[in-house]
Amino acid sequence: MNARVLAAALALGTLLASPVRAQQDFSSVRIEPEKVADGIYVLKGAGGNIGLSVGEDGAFMIDDQFAPLSEKILAAVKAITAEPLRFVVNTHWHGDHTGGNESMGKAGALLVAHENVRRRMSAEQFNATFDRTTPPSPPGALPVVTFTDALTFHWNGQTIRVFHVDPAHTDGDSIIHFVEADVLHMGDLFFNGSYPYIDVSSGGRIGGVVSAAERVLKAAGDRTRLIPGHGPVGTKADLEAYRDVVATVGDRVAALKAQGRSREEVVAAKPTAELDAKWGQGFMKPDVWVGLVYDSVE
Ligand SMILES: [Zn+2]
C-alpha cells in the first residue's frame, strides 16, 4: 500500500469504521471546544463535530465521536458546565458520530436518534463502496428514544427542533436546530469546504443532500451559524457555495448518465475537474465521489 492509498484508507477509516475496526491511535487527540453562541459549543477532536448545549437543565450533546475519546469528551464537557450530561442526539449512525454512545449512556445520557439509526446500529452493515463490514453496536450504544419525522426539546432556554430529512448522506439523517440561538447542526449533510461522502449502501442519495441544504438555507439568515459534520463552523454563504457545487456536479453526472455513459466512463470524464483544487482536498477524493454521485443520481 503506497502512502497516498494509506492516507486515503486512514481518512476513510475515520469516517466509516466502528471504533474497534478503526484501530486508530487516539492518544494524541485533543478535544477542543469552540463557542458558537451563548450556551452552545462545538467540540472538535477526531471524527464528526460534536454539538453541545449547556445551561441549568443539563448538558445536551449532538454526536459523540469514537469510544476511546469518551473520557476526554466528558472532561471537556465538565470544564464547560457543572451540570450532568442528560441527552445525546445522533445525527446519523456512522461510527465517527456514535462511537461514544455506550459511554455517554453509562454517564447518564439518554440516547436519541431517528429510527433508522437504531435499525442500522442494531445489525451488521456492509458498505459496498469500500468493501467494509461494520458489526452491530453493543445494546448499550443503541438509541433508546427513536422518532420517524421530528421531535422538539425544550431545554436550556432553547427550542431545539430535531428533524429528519429524506435520504441524503444516509437514510437516517437528522438536523438539529437551536431556534433562539440561530444555530443548526447539520451532521454529515454538510461537509464545509469539501465534497460530501454519500453512503449509498446506507440509502444515501445526492438529491437528498441538495434538498437538505435547500431546506436549511430557507431557515437561515446572515447571522445563522451552521455546524457541519466535518469542517469549520460555517455561514449561510458557505452552505450556498456547497449546495451549488453538489447540485452542479449532480446535474453534470445525471446528464452523462442519461446519455447512457457507464460509471467508469463518467468517472473518466472528470466532471468535477475545475472544482477539485478547492473541493476535492478532503477525504472524498474526486474519482470516488463521482462514482457515488453516479450510483445515487436520479
Ligand atoms: Zn457520516
* Number of neighbouring beta carbons within 10 Å of residue 119: 16
Q: What residues form DSSP beta bridges with 112?
A: 89, 145
CA of 222 to the centre of ligand 1 (A): 27
**What's the pLDDT at 7?**
45
Q: Using pLDDT thresholds of 50, 70 and 90, give the confidence band for residue 13.
A: very low
Q: Name residue, grid cell 431545539.
A: 160
Q: Separation of 169 CA from ligand 1 center, angstroms?
A: 7
C-alpha 163 – ligand 1 centre gap (Å): 17
271 Cα: distance to centroid of ligand 1 (angstroms): 24
Say how many Å lie between the CA of residue 264 and the centre of ligand 1.
Answer: 25
Q: How far is the CA of 65 from the centre of ligand 1 (A)?
A: 11
Q: Determine the 3-state secondary structure of 50 from DSSP.
A: strand
What is the pTM (predicted TM-score) of this model? 0.92
* Arithmetic mean of pLDDT, 156-177: 98
Do residues 53 and 77 lie in contact, with contact meaning Cβ atoms separated by under 8 Å?
A: no
Ligand 1 centroid to Cα of residue 90, in Å, is: 11
Question: Please, are residues 178 and 53 in contact by the beta-carbon 8 Å criterion?
Answer: yes
Section 81-109 average pLDDT = 98
CB 17, CB 26: distance < 8 Å: no
pLDDT, position 23:
64
Of 17 and 26, the one with more pLDDT: 26
Structure confidence by residue, pLDDT tens digits, 118-134: 999 999 999 998 999 99
Distance 259 CA to ligand 1 centre (A): 31
User: Rounded to whole angstroms, how far apart are CA atoms 85 and 119?
Assistant: 24
The residue ranking higher by pLDDT, 25 or 241, is 241
Per-residue model confidence as pLDDT tens digits over 179-215: 999 999 999 999 999 999 999 999 999 999 999 999 9
pLDDT single digits (tens) 36-86: 999 999 999 999 999 999 999 999 999 999 999 999 999 999 999 999 999
